[in-house]
């Protein structure tokens, strides 16, 4: 009879689950495993935060789901141009990219 010694080690990294699970938005590729309708339904169940759907006519990106509050600080056109110029080159059509944006608005008041 052989005596075998066995031990188990479990490594875990924990972080708090935050709601909404999406910070500012998602960029969905054409072949992503989940579409904008399913993501939108999940968001409506998980949070009261409003998201807007932007459909793109592009060969890689099909949709952008963006927090409505972000669109109060920048235009849809600026956001779409940013996604197409900066995000698209970094992703494939099967991917979903999580957006955590920092939109800065500079205001200037001129007094006469």
- pTM listed for this prediction: 0.79
Tell me how crowded residue 79 is: count the other CB atoms within 10 A of its CB: 21
pLDDT at 33: 94
List Cα–Cα distances, 59 to 29, 49, 92, in angstroms: 9, 29, 10
pLDDT at 19: 66
Res. 15 pLDDT band, cuts 50 70 90: confident
pLDDT at 11 over 90: no
pLDDT at 1: 61
- Measure the CA–CA gap between 10 and 3, rounded to whole angstroms: 23
Report phi then psi at 102, rounded to 5.
-120, 100
pLDDT at 109 over 80: yes
Give the angle 24-96-60 at the CA atoms, nearest 5°: 115
- Residue among 41, 25, 2, 43 nearest 102 (CA): 25
Tell me how crowded residue 37 is: count the other CB atoms within 10 A of its CB: 10
User: Beta-strand (E) ranges in the chain?
Assistant: 25-29, 51-55, 61-67, 96-99
Report phi then psi at 104, rounded to 5.
-110, 130
pLDDT tens string 75-86: 999 999 999 999
pLDDT tens string 25-55: 999 999 999 999 999 898 888 888 899 999 9
């Amino acid at each position: 009879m052989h005596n075998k010694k066995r031990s188990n080690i479990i490594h875990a990294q924990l972080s708090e689950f935050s709601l909404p699970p999406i910070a500012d938005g998602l960029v969905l590729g054409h072949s992503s495993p989940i579409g904008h309708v399913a993501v939108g339904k999940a968001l409506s169940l998980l949070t009261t935060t409003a998201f807007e759907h932007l459909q793109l006519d592009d060969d890689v990106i099909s949709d952008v789901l963006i927090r409505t509050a972000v669109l109060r600080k920048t235009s849809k056109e600026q956001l779409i141009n940013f996604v197409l110029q900066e995000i698209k080159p970094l992703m494939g059509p099967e991917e979903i990219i999580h957006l955590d944006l920092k939109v800065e608005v500079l205001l200037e008041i001129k007094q006469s």
